[in-house]
Amino acid sequence: MFITFEGIDGSGKSIQAERCVDFLSAHYKVLHCFDPGHTPIGNAVRAILLDKENSRMDARTELLLYAAARSQLVVEEINPFLAKGGIVISDRFYDSTTAYQGYGRKLPLSLIHQLNMIGAHERVPDITFIIDTNLNIAGKRISEADRLESESIEFKQRVQEGYRAIAKQEPLRCKLINGNRSIEIIQQEICAYIKKKLDADL
């Protein structure tokens, strides 16, 4: 099973992914990864993407770099782990590209979709949790440190709306989670959802 966590910066993805890894590790082999990054090549690309010095980066350059980092992650880590029967939990995956580069930067969604499939080697998550957190609440949770987190409020709103659109378009894969609640309550909802899905798959 391949599970991804998505949402705007500060929505609570990483904490929920961590809790989910802890919950599942008791019974399953679990790989916890993050996109972009995790592999040596992916981390080198991630550094380019987040560097404030790279403010001149073209939107398509950015798109291609994310796809490149993801390709390496899928081939080097995700696919081999799934092939061995493990559960993979990824902090972000290609829906981030759709939300940020598609809805946020307004690159054509058809182009994004094509590139997402290329970068993911057609690997589609089984469950995607989209943590939907109010922009003000999410903003207060994070320090605005890197290049992407210093985007305008309009950009962040488009990204948020993008995630909601993805959840509507793919309701079987994507589960929209109200991220304005406590860490524990959200965690309970996510764990219950995964448990139900795992039981159904047995």
Ligand X SMILES: Nc1ncnc2c1ncn2[C@@H]1O[C@H](COP(=O)(O)OP(=O)(O)OP(=O)(O)O)[C@@H](O)[C@H]1O
Q: Is 157 in the site for Mg ion (CB under 5 A)?
A: no
When the beta carbons of 79 and 134 are compared against Mg ion, the nearer one is: 134
Residues binding ligand X (CB under 6 A)? 7, 9-15, 141-142, 182-183, 186
Q: Take residue 35 and report the two structure tokens written for it.
A: 């996109």
Q: Output the smallest distance, CB 108 to Mg ion, in A.
A: 27
**Residues forming a β-bridge with 34:** 91
Closer CB to Mg ion, 21 or 109, in the complex: 21
SS3 170: coil
Within 13 A of 185's CA, how many CA atoms are on the CB side? 6
Task: State the Cα–Cα distance between residues 2 and 88, nearest whole angstrom.
Answer: 5
**Residue nearest to Mg ion as judged by C-beta position:** 14
> What number of helices (H) and strands (E) belong to the chain?
9, 5
Minimum separation from the CB atom of position 201 to ligand X (A)? 27
Residues 87, 79: Cα–Cα separation, whole Å: 11
Question: Toward Mg ion, which CB reaches closer, 14 or 79?
Answer: 14
Return the one option of ligand X, Mg ion, none that residue 15 interacts with (CB less than 5 to 8 A, by type).
ligand X
Q: Which residues bind Mg ion (CB under 5 A)?
A: 14
